[in-house]
Amino acid sequence: MRQSEKTMEALNLRLQPSKDAFVAQTDVRELLEKFTKNGALYKINTGRSDQFVQLLVRHKESGGSVSDYDPFTEPRGKSAQGAINAGYIISAEDMESTETKAGPTKSEQSKAVQEFYEDTRFTEWTEFLDVTFDRLYGDQEALQKLYGGDRVRTEAAVKGEVLRVLEGTSKRSAKLRRGWGVKVTKANVGEGEEARQEITEVEFDPGRARKGLSSHIMTFARANRNAE
């Protein structure tokens, strides 16, 4: 197997346009190869690698540079943090923490999100997020166009993203929560292989949370604008 094929396999590129871009566009290939090197501080989220490649291609077509999405440079590319926030790029620390155990299935994730927002312990936070989302959806075209204009799917995706940050154990998740003015309290539940941490309380500063959440939601919407 050629090295380029091995790299595409490691990145989990499945769509032909993404593979074509990797082979034909040197700058795209060189950036992606950085993520596969041993000891790399950042990795590609292999579940969204095709989307990330197409994001790079569109960015070039609009006159941008692939280096804008390079998190390895000092300073980082100007769009790298947005790609990290949107989940295209994952820090090695995050990757290690998620790979230590089998992740939940998509249906399990959806159920967990639904259960969290239906939990009466988090009613104040849920209502606050609902109001924030409603306001943004009414004003922001990028959010309205997400998932082909399907508001239900968009709201579910946004709530899932917010919960991911609330539950996250990485430094990046903790930093985002601080920026939102949000504090979560967790408790250890279960035993053995079933042991995990569960959120028991969400405290937040409405002013800071509204600003931080709005910014994060719109970054998420722009990064996923071609999601189906």
Per-residue pLDDT tens over the stretch 158-175: 998 899 899 888 888 899
Q: Are residues 125 and 176 in the same domain?
A: yes
- Residue 99 pLDDT class (50, 70, 90 cuts): very low
Region 31-54: what's the mean pLDDT? Answer: 86
31 located within any domain:
yes
Check if the beta carbon of residue 218 is closer than 8 Å to that of residue 87.
no
Q: For residue 153, is it within any domain?
A: yes
> 110 with 151, same domain?
yes
On whether residue 148 sits in a domain, the answer given is yes
Asked if residue 63 has pLDDT above 80, the reply is yes
Beta strand 89-91 with 196-204 is unpaired
**Confidence band of 85 (pLDDT split at 50, 70, 90):** confident
Q: What is the mean pLDDT of the chain?
A: 84
Residue 46: both structure tokens together: 């292999």
Residue that is last in its domain, among 53, 69, 99 = 99
* pLDDT value of position 107: 52
Same domain, residue pair 213 and 179: yes
The residue out of 99, 122, 148 marking a domain boundary is: 99
Confidence of residue 193 (pLDDT cuts 50, 70, 90): low
Residue 86 and residue 161 in one domain:
no
Buried b (16+ CB within 10 A) or exposed e, 175-202: ebbeebbbebeeeeeeeeeeeeeebeeb
Q: Does position 196 have pLDDT exceeding 80, yes or no?
A: no
Mark whether 94 and 110 lie in a shared domain.
Answer: no
Number of domains into which the chain is organized: 2
Same domain? 91 vs 110: no
Same domain, 219 and 112: yes
Last residue of a domain, one of 65, 99, 133: 99
Q: Which domain holds residue 166?
A: 106-223
Least confident of 3-12, 84-93, 128-137: 84-93
Q: Is residue 228 part of a domain?
A: no
Q: What is the mean pLDDT of residues 29-45?
A: 88
Same domain membership, residue 89 and residue 128: no
Give the residue among 176, 173, 184, 170 at the shortest CA–CA distance from 215: 176
In a domain, 179, yes or no: yes
Global confidence as pTM: 0.56
Place of tokens 């998509």: 106
Confidence of residue 94 (pLDDT cuts 50, 70, 90): low
pLDDT, residue 105, reads 46
pLDDT at 11: 86
Q: Are residues 115 and 202 in the same domain?
A: yes
203 plus 112 within the same structural domain: yes
Q: Residue 55: pLDDT above 70? A: yes
Is 195 part of a structural domain of the chain?
Answer: yes
